[in-house]
Amino acid sequence: MSRFLASNPEVLPMSSLDIYFGDNLPILREFDKETFDLIYIDPPFNTGKTQTRKRLKTIRDKNGDRVGFQGKTYKTTELGSMEFSDSFADYLDFLKPRFVEAYRLLSPSGSFFFHIDYREVHYCKVLLDQIFGRECFINEIIWSYDYGARSKKRWSPKHDNILWYVKNPSDYTYRHDDIDRIPYMAPGLVGPEKAAKGKTPTDTWWKTIVSPNGKEKTGYPTQKPLAILSRIVNVHSNPGDRILDFFAGSGTTGEAAVRAGRNAVLIDNHPEAIKVMAERLAFASPVLHDVEQTDQRELPAFDFAKTA
């Protein structure tokens, strides 16, 4: 294993970050039971499509190919693209043993968050009710965003579903005072004091997607906003807790965890995901597991000479 020689004062000293490359199921089975206080997963949604994301570089150019703010022109260059197949012959058979492991690994007061979309959420909830128990289902959170094309044949789907389960419905972490507050829609109706403080969100979270041109963007096809994961981490875990994401993708859960003083374990079997996470999270000095057993030619953009 290797450790990046990097640091960042925003990361609290207690934080640790481990990144595993490989099939998550056998890796999960190696961990001791009830050793994670929060588990969040955002698996492929089984859309039946190939998920693709292009990486672009944009510079000011009077002869550019696109027009931006105030009529300024820009030239774009494609740096590359990432893609993966999002299709499973039997999606629930794929998820079930991983749900079982999540339940086994969750601490007695832990929470499990499952991020999915409208196509599969109903079937997955029935399966999770069987594994966790219906009494352990606390909330369905709707993440709503307003970006992208509009359908002319149906109401345009612009939300994801996040199911929240706990190990024990009588004992779980919910740090109400750490909820990030949002503005009142009608501040004049509540008075200046309440308006200045803001209100706590409901089970519908209005957050934009990661901006295609923003600093947060890694180029990974299914990257989720840091604000979403930070809210989950800050409210549903305590400083020093251990957090697991075994469909880690671009590593957003890991960044949210270490910046909040939590410890994180990330797992993914896609070489591009490992490359993106290693570069994005270098500030947190992650420990990479099984990197030496991979074909480093699959990670062409990563400089392994910087590891020790």
Distance set, CA 89 to CA 93, 101, 117, 127, 276 (Å) = 9, 21, 18, 17, 28
So what's the pLDDT on residue 149? 82
**Using an 8 Å Cβ cutoff, are 248 and 257 in contact?**
no
pLDDT at 307: 38
- What is the predicted pLDDT for the residue at 303? 40
Contact call for residues 234 and 257 (beta carbons, < 8 A) = no
- How confident is the model at residue 3, as a pLDDT? 28
Cβ–Cβ under 8 Å, residues 246 and 267 = yes
What is the model's pLDDT at position 290?
76
Tens place of pLDDT per residue across the chain (308 aa): 222 223 344 555 568 999 999 999 999 999 999 999 999 999 985 545 554 444 445 566 667 665 544 455 656 555 454 444 444 568 899 999 999 999 999 999 999 999 999 989 999 999 999 999 999 999 999 999 887 788 999 999 889 999 999 999 999 999 999 999 999 999 989 999 999 999 999 999 998 877 766 777 776 777 889 999 999 999 999 999 999 999 999 999 999 999 999 999 999 998 889 999 999 999 999 999 875 555 554 543 444 333 33
Do 90 and 49 meet the contact criterion of CB atoms below 8 Å apart? no
The size of the chain, in residues, is 308
What gap in Å lies between CA 276 and CA 278, rounded to an integer?
6
Listed residue (227, 232, 185, 188) closest to 210, CA to CA: 227
DSSP string covering 112-161: EEEEE-TTTHHHHHHHHHHHH-GGGEEEEEEEE---S---SSSPPP-EEE
Q: How far apart are CA 245 and CA 231, in angstroms?
A: 15
Q: Which amino acid is at 211?
A: S
pLDDT for 243 equals: 98
pLDDT for position 10: 53
